[in-house]
Structures are given as structure tokens and as C-alpha cells.
Structure 1
Amino acid sequence: MPSRSSDPLDAVLTGATEQIRSAVAGLGVPNPVVVIDGRSGAGKTSLAARLVRAWPLPQPVQLLALDSVYPGWDGLARGAEIARQGALLPHSRQRIGRWHRWDWQHDEPAEAHAVDPDLGLIVEGCGALTRASAPLTHMTVWVDGPASARRSRALERDGDVFRDHWDMWAAQEDAHIAREHPAQLATMVFTTP
């Protein structure tokens, strides 16, 4: 059912959630893996949270947000590789995965988290969709939108903490896009306003 929201972002995210939910339900696997990638402020985190709430299978789904994994502001590529090696690869082999939360305050790895191979998994974050990660998934999603709107949303969400790092982070996103072409690897692409 189409969204009746007067908020254009909400309408896109509602429609995207329903499309992904329907596709996941049609996969016919008990523990599907969905990777959601996109630029900062595009709506990836909101989309992932909505998908968790709307998960169509009886078993709950696990969410790994790369914001919890990136090893610092210059760690986009490294964080994506940590998620691939620690969560996606073991999950694809029906083995328990493990990743460590990054403690941004102390600038070091913190506690470990397990990834259950018997449950579905959503990995969300800039850099998550690569040529190496795509074969380990059942569904891949790319989310993007106009730069000014994305920047405004990201800075409203994270404030001055992100403002000082925006250009450095955007350069890492540019490098990821040039290297991996994630929109071309995506089975679904959504553009937010």
C-alpha cells in the first residue's frame, strides 16, 4: 500500500521497506542476508531500522550497523572489511561470526558481538556493498540522494561531531564508489529526496 505521508523522505523509506520486505519474504531462505549501502545522510540507517521492525520471517533478524565497527573517521574501507570477514563470510558458511564494537571515545576496539548463522542478517553502512561482499548476500540495496539534503540530514543527526569530518568522510565514500560501483551491484536502488 502506498504511503500517505506528507513527508517525502518518509514516503520513500516506507515504499522501500515494503519492497525489500516483500522480496525477503519471497527468497524462501530462513536466514537471508541483506546489505544496505549508500552515502551519508541518504537514509540507510532509517531504512535498516524500519526493515528490522517489518522483518517478514518468524525468526528475528540481526542488524550490524557499520557505524559501530568503523575504526575511526578514516576507517570506511576497513570497517566494511571487518564486517565482511567477521559477519558476512562466517554467516555464508553457517558459522558463528564475531565483530568488535569500536569505542569512539577511547579510539580502540571494545566488546565482541556474535552473529548467529541461523538468523537473518542486515548489514548497513557506507562501504558495505563491495564486489567481495555481494556474493555473500541474498539481497543488496543502494540508497542515495541529493548531496545538500544528505549533508543537512547527517549534520542534523550528528551535529558538530560530523561537521569537522564531513569532507574526509565524503572523500572515502567517493573512493568506495569509484572502486566498487555499489549501485551497479545492488539488486534494489532507492533515491531519497
Structure 2
Amino acid sequence: MDGTPPGVTVVAVDGPSGSGKTVLARALARDLGAPLLHMDDLYPGWDGLAASPALLAEQVLEPLARGERAAYRRWDWHAGDWATDPVEVPEPPGGVLVVEGCGSSVGPAGEHAAVRVWVDAEPALRMRRGVARDGEAYRPHWERWAAQEVRLFAADGTRGRADLVIDTSPGAG
């Protein structure tokens, strides 16, 4: 919690793809009246997971920690490049910012998180969810992304540093 800015509480909802992070983060943001930032906007493509925690920290969390307005470059998935217009982060009216996505509590981004939530589910279920949402054509991307997740989360010890762990697998408890 070293880098958490006074007056802004960052809640990072992290974990592997298909675990249910987005559903939880949307509910948290709604219930807290907080802006929600999706890491999908910050990943520099299908091979960019490792770069994203630093991008989040540099473009959003560090400016907020300095009491400044924050804006980030959004990745245009269709163009395969950065969009030209920056996206301003809304000022958190209640002092809370929810950040959702793989890597949102990793490394430099994690240093700014006041609360780290790890959302997980068993791997086959996560893959089924992802393919059901995005289509079978995206399976190779999902598999490539999953390998990046394993490396990033293992090197960082992300799950072990979470304040709260939620398993969305049927029968988990």
C-alpha cells in the first residue's frame, strides 16, 4: 500500500482469463460508485501481458498518486496498434478506483493497490468460458495468453499476495 494516493483507494481485481474478474469488478464498481478501468484497454496486443502492469502504473496509478489527472493510451484490438486519442480516467467521486484484468495487481501496479482480489477457476472451465464468449477462432490466442499468465503470475507470486481469493468454479467454497 506504499503507493496508494491519499484519497484514492485502488481495488485491483486480478487473476487468469475466464475466471470471472469482469463480472465481479462491474458489481464492485457499481456498488461502490467507482470508475472501472479494464486492463483490456492497456494490453499491447495478444503478446503484451507482461508489459501491462508497468503501463497501468506509469499512465494511471502514478499520476493519481501525485494528485494529478490520469489518462492512458488505449490499445485498438482491430487495428493492432495504439489508438490516437488518450482515455481520461474519471476522477473517483467516492475515492475508489476499481481496476480489472490480468496483471492489475502485478509488480509496479500492485504497489498502488490498497486491496488485491484474486479471482480464479479451474483451467478447463476458464478456457470454456473464454471460447464461449469470444468464439472458437480465438482459442489459439487464449492458449498463448494463458501461457503468459502462468509465467507472469508465477514470477510475481500474485495469488499469494492477494487480500481476498475467490474461486468461481462450481462447488468451490
Q: Specify the code of the residue in structure 1 equivalent to 2:86.
A: A
**TM-score, length basis structure 1:** 0.77
Structure 2 residue matching 1:151: 3-state secondary structure:
helix
Structure 1 residue matching 2:108: 3-state secondary structure:
coil
Q: Percent of aligned pairs with the same residue? A: 37
1:43 to 10, 14, 20: 20
Question: Deviation at 1:161?
Answer: 4.5
Q: Which runs of 5+ in 2 are unaligned?
A: 1-5
Question: Deviation at 1:83?
Answer: 1.1
Q: Specify the code of the residue in structure 2 equivalent to 1:87.
A: V
Q: Specify the code of the residue in structure 1 equivalent to 2:87.
A: H
Tell me which residue corresponds to 1:112: 86
Query: 1:77 and 2:50 equivalent?
Result: yes
The number of aligned residues is: 161
Structure 1 residues 130-139 or 181-190, which shifts more?
130-139
| Cα shift readout 1:41-74 (whole Å, capped 9, x = no counterpart) | 000011111111211xxxx412110111111100
| Cα shift readout 1:61-116 (whole Å, capped 9, x = no counterpart) | 12110111111100111122211111111112211111011111111111211224
Q: Specify the code of the residue in structure 2 equivalent to 1:76.
A: L
| Cα shift readout 1:8-40 (whole Å, capped 9, x = no counterpart) | xxxxxxxxxxxxxxxxxxxxx753210111001
Structure 1 residue matching 2:51: 3-state secondary structure:
helix
Tell me which residue corresponds to 1:135: 111
Structure 2 residue matching 1:167: 3-state secondary structure:
helix
What value does the CA root-mean-square deviation take over the aligned residues? Answer: 1.6
Alignment of 1:12-161 (within 5 A): 30-55=7-32, 60-110=33-83, 111-116=85-90, 118-119=92-93, 120-161=96-137
Query: 1:189 and 2:157 equivalent?
Result: no
In the aligned structure 2, how far is the partner of 1:131 from the partner of 1:102?
Answer: 21
Q: Specify the code of the residue in structure 1 equivalent to 2:127.
A: R
Q: Which runs of 5+ in 1 are unaligned?
A: 1-28
User: Is contact 1:31–1:117 with CA below 8 Å preserved after alignment?
Assistant: no
- Greater than 6 Å deviation, 4+ residue runs: none
In the aligned structure 1, how far is the partner of 2:136 from the partner of 2:65?
Answer: 38
1:168 to 140, 144, 148: 144
Structure 1 residue matching 2:87: 3-state secondary structure:
strand
**TM-score, length basis structure 2:** 0.86
